[in-house]
Amino acid sequence: MINSTFVKNNPSGFLYEKHRFVKGNMPKMHYHDYYEIYYLISGERNHFVGDKFLTIKKGDFVVIRPEVPHKTGGLSGARVLICFNEEFLSNWLTKSAQAELLSFFDKTFIRPDSDCQNEILNTINDVEKAYFDKDSAKIFSSLLQLILILKKSSLATNKGNVSTTVLQKAMEYAQNNYATINSLQDVADALFISKFHLCHLFSKYVEVSFNSYLTKIRLKNATRLLVTSSKTITEVAIDCGFSTATYFCQVFKKEFGVTPLKYKTLNRTLH
């Protein structure tokens, strides 16, 4: 679900959070309207980001653009979250400078060279200190320094086992064909694997059903169409793969707490 609570609690549009976690998983796949930098201090975690399956270790980064579905789970450890929105950046950068800086988020997964780790840790400590000192200028300069360090890092490769590779292909297929998929069987046929095997992979690694994952993708695209297009509610429902407008409205309200029409009205007013 789109979540901008941190913006309400932090009017600057920036959040820093350090957290220890025990072995387990986030309750469900979600997405939000801000940029997220996830740094693993210790432990090992599995990440699902869009159509990617990642296994990250101590010192790794996952960077996530707004409205990209993601979920994490795995062993005990600790992580840092750095979150911000474009409004925060607009206090310091022009639109063109923002676009150049935010191209960094195309990387998704970064494993910096070992000789950068001390510089990274020092910079993250600077971000933390500035955040608790409420020093916006220092927050921005430290964040910029961190991103510039990471931009120089090569895009990391993260090869999974055969099972997770198949799962990643299934997630990618769902991302690209959400409007026309009728069932899990369609995906299984496209990948030349058993429907039951694919169902098992979703249950084991993602811990949600394929239908739940597909619905999340459809709803994400529906919110985009509601705000950016002149399509009717029925047209949005059909374009996103829902069988009827009535069913679409039921699922949408359950997810977001408002009807599609109300969502459209509220967000167009805000924009």
Q: What would the 3-class secondary structure string for the chain be?
A: CCCCHHHHHCCCCEEEEEEEECCEECCCCECCCCEEEEEEEECEEEEEECCEEEEEECCCEEEECCCCCEEEEECCEEEEEEEECHHHHHCCCCHHHHHHHHHHHHCCEECCCHHHHHHHHHHHHHHHHHHHHCCHHHHHHHHHHHHHHHHCCCECCCCCCHHHHHHHHHHHHHHHHCCCCCCHHHHHHHHCCCHHHHHHHHHHHHCCCHHHHHHHHHHHHHHHHHHHCCCCHHHHHHHCCCCCHHHHHHHHHHHHCCCHHHHHHHHHHHC
Rounded-to-integer distance, Cα 223 and Cα 2, Å = 10
- Can you tell me the mean pLDDT for 18-27? 68
pLDDT digits (tens, 9 = 90+) for 115-156: 888 899 999 999 999 999 989 889 999 999 999 888 877 554
Looking at the predicted structure, is the pLDDT value of residue 5 above 70?
A: no
- Is the residue at 40 inside a domain? yes
Same domain, 114 and 221: no
* pLDDT score recorded for residue 1: 42
Does residue 124 lie within any of the structural domains?
yes
pLDDT of residue 146: 92
Instruction: Flag whether 26 is in a domain.
Output: yes
Kindly tell me if the per-residue pLDDT of 181 is higher than 90: yes
Which of 53-57, 118-122, 168-172 tops mean pLDDT? Answer: 118-122
CATH code of 50's domain: 2.60.120.280
Question: Is 81 found in the same domain as 22?
Answer: yes
Same-domain pairing of 35 and 121: yes
Of the spans 88-102, 126-140, 196-210, which averages the highest pLDDT? 126-140
Q: pLDDT grade, residue 64 (50/70/90)?
A: very high
**Mean of the per-residue pLDDT values for the chain?**
84
Is 28 within the bounds of a domain? yes
Q: Which of 97-101, 123-127, 261-265 tops mean pLDDT? A: 123-127
105 and 239 fall within a common domain: no
Domain extent, residue 249, equals 162-270
Whether the pLDDT of residue 107 is over 70: the answer is: yes
Does the residue 54 lie in any domain?
yes
| Beta carbons of 142 and 161 less than 8 angstroms apart | no
pLDDT value of position 210: 87
Tell me: pLDDT of 9 over 70: no
Q: Are residues 257 and 182 in the same domain?
A: yes
Mean pLDDT throughout 220-235? Answer: 92
**Same domain assignment for residues 99 and 198:** no
Point out the least confidently predicted range of 4-13, 54-63, 126-135, 145-154.
4-13
Q: In whole angstroms, give the CA distance from residue 33 to residue 85.
A: 7
pLDDT of residue 260: 93
Which amino acid is present at 154? Answer: S
Whether residues 54 and 132 share a domain: the answer is yes
32 and 122 inside one domain: yes
Asked whether residue 157 is assigned to any structural domain, the reply reads no
State residue 186's pLDDT score. Answer: 93
The verdict on 69 and 194 lying in the same domain is no
Give CA–CA dist 84/63, Å, rounded: 12
Final residue before a domain boundary, out of 123, 151, 179: 151
**Most trustworthy range by pLDDT among 20-29, 55-64, 72-81, 153-162:** 55-64
Residue 130 pLDDT: 92
Domain count, the chain: 2
Q: How far is CA 211 from CA 59, 174, 185, 258, in A?
A: 34, 10, 11, 22
Single out the residue in 128, 151, 174 at which a domain terminates.
Answer: 151
Q: Read off the CATH number of the domain in which 212 is found.
A: 1.10.10.60
Local confidence band at 96 (pLDDT 50, 70, 90 cut-offs): confident
Least confident window among 14-18, 78-82, 156-160, 245-249: 156-160
φ, ψ of residue 176 in degrees (nearest 5): -90, -20
Looking at the structure, tell me whether residues 99 and 131 fall in a common domain: yes
Q: Which pLDDT does position 82 carry in this prediction?
A: 95
What pLDDT is recorded for position 162? 59
28 with 123, same domain?
A: yes
Q: How far apart are CA 47 and CA 56, in angstroms?
A: 7
Residue 156 lies in a domain: no
| Same domain, yes or no: 11 and 90 | yes
Q: How far is CA 165 from the centre of its chain?
A: 19
